Amino acid sequence: MNESLAKTKSSVQVVEIKEDQDGQRLDNFLLRALGDIPKSMIYRIIRKGEVRVNKGRIKPNHRLKTGDFVRIPPVRHDTESSEVKLPQSLLGEVGRQILFENNDYMVVNKPSGLAVHGGSGLRFGLIDVIRAIRPQHEYLELVHRLDRETSGCLLFAKNRQALIFMHEQFKQNQVIKKYLAGIEGEWKSGTKTISAPLIKNATQGGERIVEVNDKGKEAISHFKLVQQFNRLSLIEVELQTGRTHQIRVHAAHEGHPVAGDKKYGNKNYNQWIKEKGLKRLFLHSHWLEFYLPGDNERTQINTPLPDELQVVLSNLESCNK
């Protein structure tokens, strides 16, 4: 039985786990099966025992196995309010930004401003858009993530085996990820490796921030100057680790925050660069390199800076003339 049937039925559903769903966490499985349901409700129905795996109670982080039977209880849907209608213009825009696709993977040039997942007040994310573009694929999952305001190469897996294969490459540091970032001021260090551990903290207002802290997790970024502009340096950053907000925090730690960064940046500088045409975070994932299953040659995907960032550089160049 297709897990999507659970979205359209009001009665109890029993779904058999397929081979390409093997190893998936129960909570993640239910989030996809039930569609536009808050995470809090997912955890509540698991905690109350309304969700069963092979007729037994189970924890949210339980890994499902091929052949397992998952009992999904009826969940009240207000179809008018819960059904998310994706803008056709957005579907078309994202559809034109598919950089690579085969039977196992898809690489999309993610636009800035679109989160990879819905939630926290967002009705939908890029994953919902991709699934709408490719409705014939029962399985489409993110291999990694990008911040909402970051644009560029984002990798999706079309089956469970492909996801596991690529995750293993990430663990072995075999995936090369390079970003282009516009940072405040003049970068005088040329090529520099920044090794500064990062830890997640919460501010008084509940906003999550990341800080450099010796008690944090290892975080290594390789910075290289590409071109110098008036009060802005264009740098390429290759990530050796992939911590949350890593480039943004490392750049700020070096005294050169990413232009347009409202969380870690300089308010006065952001106002100045906004007048030069910057309307977003100046961070773009321009290079992704990895092995495909059964292929000894590395696949390289790259995409240039989007037009809205190129315009800013052109405006800064004109300031020097």
- The residues carrying an active-site annotation are 147
Q: What is the DSSP letter of 21?
A: G
Q: DSSP string spanning 113-163?
A: T--SS-BTTBS--HHHHHHHH-TT-S--EESS---TT-EEEEEEESSHHHH
Alpha helix ranges (H) inside the chain: 26-33, 39-47, 79-82, 88-95, 126-133, 160-171, 246-253, 267-275, 307-319
Residue 90 tokens, joined: 């957005």
Report helix, strand and coil shares of the chain as percent, to nearest 5.
25, 30, 45
**Residue whose tokens read 């970051």:** 150
Q: What is the distance in angstroms between the CA of the first residue and the CA of the last residue of the chain?
A: 65
What values do phi and psi take at 82, rounded to 5?
Answer: -90, -25
